Amino acid sequence: MRDQLPPEAFLAGYPDGIRDAAEMLRAIVRKAVPDAIEGVRGGWRLIGYEVPVGRRARYFAYISPEPIHVHLGFEYGAWMADPDGLLEGAHLGLRKVRFTTFTEGQSIPAAALERLTKEAARVALLSRGERLARSFDREWEPPG
């Protein structure tokens, strides 16, 4: 559930470099998915993004600032194509969520993250069955 707190107010309590990185990530998400619904989720301490699906919306991405770094994460990241190898999380045993992490002053690969964010929205709109089929396709290798 989204809070009424504006993202700018939510980010105000973070160090300048973390806030700047989070603002850059917000701009990337808005550019990649202009119709995304942005909202603070205070209980989770993040800014969440939903993609409209008819009269409803499906959660697909988040920006999670912390005192020493900020994450751009994707709810269905396990099913996303990641040609640049930017997604983390599988090593943590996360079943579906994947994320990227940036520290203060670290270069943020905007074009690659924009591609990932578009992919995240696309995958979020797939049915559960379509995502399951994708996971089988990625695990299957032809006999050889």
What CATH number is attached to the domain comprising 125? 3.90.1150.200
Residue 2 lies in a domain: no
Measured in degrees and rounded to the nearest 5, phi and psi for residue 105 equal 80, -10
Mean pLDDT of the chain: 88
The reported pLDDT for the residue numbered 140 is 43
Residue 126 lies in a domain: yes
- Higher-confidence residue of 67 and 137: namely 67
Measured in degrees and rounded to the nearest 5, phi and psi for residue 55 equal -90, 5
Q: How far apart (Å, rounded) are the C-alpha atoms in residues 98 and 17?
A: 23
| HSE of 4, CA atoms in CB hemisphere, 13 A | 0
Domain that holds residue 135: 7-139
- Residue 39 pLDDT > 80: yes
Is the CB of residue 124 less than 8 Å from the CB of residue 35? no
Residue 76 lies in a domain: yes
Alpha helices in 1-144 (DSSP H): 7-11, 16-32, 110-124, 128-139
The reported pLDDT for the residue numbered 68 is 95
- 99 DSSP β-pair partners: 73, 88
Residue 1 lies in a domain: no
Distance set, CA 135 to CA 6, 38, 40, 138 (Å): 36, 28, 30, 5
How is residue 15 written in tokens? Answer: 């160090």
Q: What percent of the chain has pLDDT over 70?
A: 87
Model pTM above 0.85? yes
Residue 144 lies in a domain: no
- Residue 21 pLDDT > 60: yes
Average pLDDT estimate for 51-64: 94
pLDDT digits (tens, 9 = 90+) for 86-142: 999 877 666 789 999 999 989 999 999 999 999 999 999 987 777 666 665 655 444
Residue 101 lies in a domain: yes
- Residue 65 pLDDT > 50: yes
Tally of domains in the chain: 1
